[in-house]
Amino acid sequence: MIYHILNGDALAYSFPDAKIGGDLIVVREGLIEGNLAGHHLPDFWQARARYLGVTETEYQSQVVNEFEKIRNAPDDSEFNLWFEYDLFCQVNMWFVLSIIHRLPIKKKVFAVYTTYLDKTSKHFWNAFGPANSAELQVCYANRISLSDADLQVGQDLWQAYKKGNLKELTALSKNPSVAFPYLPEVVKAQVDRFPKDGTKGRPERVMEDILKNISTDFPKVFQEFWNRESIYGFGDTQLKNLYDKVMHHR
């Protein structure tokens, strides 16, 4: 069985046009923010549903059922993980890898990145959305095979992230791997959210500067933040929360 695990519905809408065979699994989570409590998945799902303010039934239907497709995959399955380079996507990918790594089946796992872009592109960190069919096919052709060791690193990254262990995350980021090509930059972006000296985190400082020197109009703020800090991959929800927090304390 061939699966394509997509980070969000935006890519799911355009993906069929690329004519790449396999079943789709859509990750509808944003684990970059919110409650990550729970030693076991049922507890974790409950914590996430409460944080997102939805019923457990809604969360099961929209989110958990997609992850269950991974957990119920048959022997000799192939998983293609379509995740971008930014922190938002990478955190979700670490979680997915932690699930796949524990599967008691023979499996092949590949990471599919936005390799049709070079690092000078303003969309470098997050650009599956605007990719056309030919560009998606290029990304698929350049997919990276993940070893068992890579899957273990993914699980270790998830566990360190879940526990808020920035020291362990930093240590893991110092072991280069083609499976996680921009891991040092991504982990630094995460560490910069929580300075040891008690000062404000990097996203908050950037938001303050934009509000002070550019605009307080949210659409303009959103665009400027993305121009400066697309490595975070923040969506509307995360940026609006940050915007409201900073505006409240101005």
pLDDT of residue 120: 79
Please tell me the total number of residues recorded for the chain in this structure: 250
Q: Indicate if the alpha-carbon torsion angle 153, 113, 10, 220 is positive or negative.
A: positive
Identify which of 187, 131, 129 has the alpha carbon closest to the alpha carbon of residue 156.
187
Q: How far apart are CA 94 and CA 152, in angstroms?
A: 10
Q: Residue 232: what pLDDT?
A: 97
Could you tell me the mean pLDDT of each successive run of 10 residues in the chain, 250 residues long?
Answer: 95 94 97 95 97 96 98 98 97 98 97 90 83 95 97 97 97 92 96 92 97 95 95 93 90
DSSP string, 178-209: TTSTTHHHHHHHHHTTS-TTS---HHHHHHHH
Per-residue pLDDT at 40: 94
pLDDT at residue number 218: 95
Tokens read off for 104: 């008691």
For residue 120, give Cα distances in angstroms to 19, 115, 116. Answer: 29, 12, 12
pLDDT at 212: 95
What is the pLDDT, as a whole number, of residue 215?
95
pLDDT on residue 194:
95
The per-residue pLDDT for 121 is: 77
> Given this model, what pLDDT does residue 180 score?
96
- Predicted local distance difference test score (pLDDT) of residue 129: 84
For residue 53, the model assigns a pLDDT of 95
Sign of the alpha-carbon torsion through 55, 71, 133, 233: positive
